[in-house]
Structures are given as C-alpha cells and as structure tokens.
Amino acid sequence: MEKNHRMEAKKYLQQALELTKAENHEILRCYGLCEYRYGNREKGLNFLKDAFHINGTDAEVIYNLIELYILEHKYKKAKDMIKYFYKHREKLQTIDKGMDFYDQKISLFEKFITTQYMFKK
C-alpha cells in the first residue's frame, strides 16, 4: 500500500471486506493496517486480531501484530505473540518474504522489548 494512495486503497479494501463478508484474513490484515495508519489504532488492531483468528499461521499477520503491540507499548502481548511465532514457526505460511526475514525482524523486536524492560528498572 503506497503512502500516496492510502485513501484510495482504504476505499477498495472496504469494498473487499463487504464482498468477502470480512472472512479473508489478508484483506482484514491490510484494512487493519490502513485503519491503524489513519489514526484509528484500536480499530486497526482489532482487524489484525480478527485476521489472526481466521488464520493463525500467516507469518505476516503475526509480524504485524507484534509490530503494533510494540507501537502501543503492549510489550506483554508482543512477547506472547513472539512465543507463538517460535512455537509454530515450522507451520507458518509465508508469501512474498522468506522465513529469514521474519526471523530477523522477530529477533529485533525481542531485543527492543528487552531494552524497554531494562529502562523501566
């Protein structure tokens, strides 16, 4: 989703949600990210949670949830999703990125969370 065309993308994603009766996890994920980036953070996060409940093996959905939990300072939830990622890693589905991409990102997220806990002490 190009930053310049988010409004147009949001319109098409809303139509896709209606056509699929909000049962397609990828459309829910994309729409959730769109809502989040427009400032509707809780709504966006809820769409991502719905996407995860539909397909809990999509690595991109898990990655996005961890990312948003960190942005929201919900580190416990991010850590829980990271544990889920590692527990189910061998079963996770990827589309356009290899597992090494997710491994690197999740590792960075873990280090960031650890650092945040260090500064709280």
- pLDDT, tens only, 104-114: 999 999 999 99
User: With 70 as the cut, is the pLDDT of residue 76 above it?
Assistant: yes
3-state secondary structure of 93: strand
What is the tens place of the pLDDT at every residue in 59-75? 999 999 999 999 999 99
Q: Give the chain's length.
A: 121
**Positive or negative CA dihedral for 100, 103, 108, 111?**
negative
Q: What is the mean pLDDT of residues 8-22?
A: 91
**61 and 51 part of one domain:** no
The domain in which residue 62 lies consists of 56-121
Stated pTM of the model = 0.90
**50 and 84 part of one domain:** no
Classify each residue of 80-104 as buried b or exposed e, where b means 16 or more C-beta atoms within 10 Å of its C-beta. ebbebbeeeeeebeeeeeeeeebee
Inter-residue contact 58 to 93 (CB < 8 Å): yes
**How many structural domains comprise the chain?**
2
**45 and 65 part of one domain:** no
